[in-house]
Structure 1
């Protein structure tokens, strides 16, 4: 049974907004993670770490692509379900709300512990301002990784097919494999400096267009709809988007910072060492719980604007074809 891609993806998008990522559910990314761990165990022992790390990346992406194609071919229901799992709008918002709720209750220790599950930075000595800043930075950065980028690749893949099977799911799930590789082996530490090089570079390439679409177009439009400072979202995007160690993360962070009137970056502790990160945005106020709530609203509207923009582009291309 053939179903129009826009119908399938709209259902997947709505499922994400309703269900999010239940903790009891064995998310496909967990299986991708187990695949990476298994392949790393086989490949890390060899001497040429860059080469074997590249093999790890290629095998992980290829296996994920092939399995996703088979799932899409088996059933439309399976295709829609797994497309839904590539999106993370509600789960990202829920994590932010959870920390906010704990802060409102006044349990700082629990809030810091909850935050430690979301970020790699040290949380033990954080105050309310540092906690809310960290939550907002995570939401702004992951608005690309968890929402716009998988959406972008699903729509891109939908323009191609093999034996009548859309490549929307293989493209979207392939992106999730790339993102998972980067989060697991793409570190610049002694263990992964060489082994994770290829995974990190592939992730940089994959996020290049989605990150700039998000920061330069989608987030400012979302800010305009919410009557946030959309002009500053654009201004800070063009001014500060390169003030980040990642070639992509600064794009969405800059747009978020401008829209909310906050400043990201500054002193941050990682593994016991203080790092002075370049600042992004203008410090018009200190971070507070209301800012997190505003950031979550911006996340939701950003995902909706992304859906609308990609739907329009897809419809135009389909009409031309």
Structure 2
């Protein structure tokens, strides 16, 4: 049932997204999680505590967050049950997946560069990346958009669908809670270096399977569509993915870089701090442009379609053998 739930949720989200009217009326599950994380941060991350105490507070906060998210998911799933309830569960679970919004935000960067120029492109890409965008040229804006598309395909689409297929709604909600915590408190700032340690490390762990699967999906998409080189994508994954500072982001970024013949990642500025990361797709060109964003989106949509088809096939096989 869980694989079918993941399949239905992917299809629903692709078709409907998360309606603006619903967002204005009740908010979004990620926003609800964010409020809980903020409360835990204020309560368990006291600046006058020792670093050891704050790290312990972060572990407690993570446990509370996962327990609450997983518990709510279990209660909803148990209450709704199978049959028509499965569709309602899938409708709720679809809010944890970001296929439409991801494509929309990245496409907005390409459109801004094409129609309004560099400043508009910088504004558009600043909505989806954390790096300093004011000094980026067109190539930098384009690379940032493609890198964000690659990494968020893993974090925002493949990972929640994967955990939904494995553990149902409790798994997807718990994953999303961990991922949200990492984005809010998992940074190495003075306030969160100790408190956010557990969230950052656990987020690395739960994203391991999805990041590898995402790389394979991008390679497969390049092979199916001809929009990129599947062979170069696979070579880049084998050569470069493990050199990324993140244990996960390098996999989809390297696959996308190799498929498009680009060199992604490398040195970047975050809050005025230079992060000297390894190149993904080493040897590829750095002069990316809006047309490369369009090519990346084509690969993303094909890879997403393969993911949905894969979930559908597995659900069908499990049904036949059930």
RCO higher in structure (CA 8 A, sep ≥6): 2
Counterparts of residues 1-321 of structure 1 (less than 5 Å): 5=2, 8-23=5-20, 25=23, 26-45=27-46, 46-47=49-50, 48-75=53-80, 76=85, 77-157=87-167, 168-215=168-215, 217-227=216-226, 228-281=228-281, 282-284=283-285, 286-316=287-317
109-118 or 230-239, larger mean C-alpha shift: 109-118
Residue 315 of structure 1: how far off its partner (Å)? 4.8
Q: Distance in 2 between matches of 1:212 and 1:58?
A: 26
Count how many residue pairs are aligned between Structure 1 and Structure 2.
307
Residue 39 of structure 1: how far off its partner (Å)? 1.4
**TM-superposition CA deviations, 1:56-84 (whole Å, max 9, x none):** 11111110111122222333243112211
Residue 313 of structure 1: how far off its partner (Å)? 4.2
Evaluate the alpha carbon distance shift between residue 187 and residue 107 of structure 1 in structure 2; reply closer, same or farther with a 3 A threshold: same
Q: Distance in 2 between matches of 1:55 and 1:31?
A: 19
293-302 or 278-287, larger mean C-alpha shift: 278-287
CA contact (8 A) 1:9 1:80 kept: yes
Find the residue that maps to 1:125 and give its secondary structure: coil
Unpaired segments ≥5 residues, structure 2 = none
**TM-superposition CA deviations, 1:87-137 (whole Å, max 9, x none):** 111110000111111111224323212222211100111111110100000
Q: Distance in 2 between matches of 1:287 and 1:279?
A: 14
RMSD (Å) for aligned C-alpha atoms: 1.9
CA contact (8 A) 2:9 2:91 kept: yes
Which contiguous aligned blocks of 4+ residues in structure 1 show a shift greater than 4 angstroms? 4-8, 313-321
CA contact (8 A) 2:6 2:162 kept: no
Q: Distance in 2 between matches of 1:212 and 1:277?
A: 19
CA contact (8 A) 2:264 2:286 kept: no
**TM-superposition CA deviations, 1:188-239 (whole Å, max 9, x none):** 2221111111111111110111111221x22211111111200111110000
**TM-superposition CA deviations, 1:239-292 (whole Å, max 9, x none):** 000121111110111111111111112331211233332111032462011111
Find the residue that maps to 1:242 and give its secondary structure: helix
Residue 300 of structure 1: how far off its partner (Å)? 1.6
CA contact (8 A) 1:144 1:252 kept: yes
CA contact (8 A) 2:2 2:164 kept: no
Given the two structures, how large is their TM-score scaled by the length of structure 1? 0.89
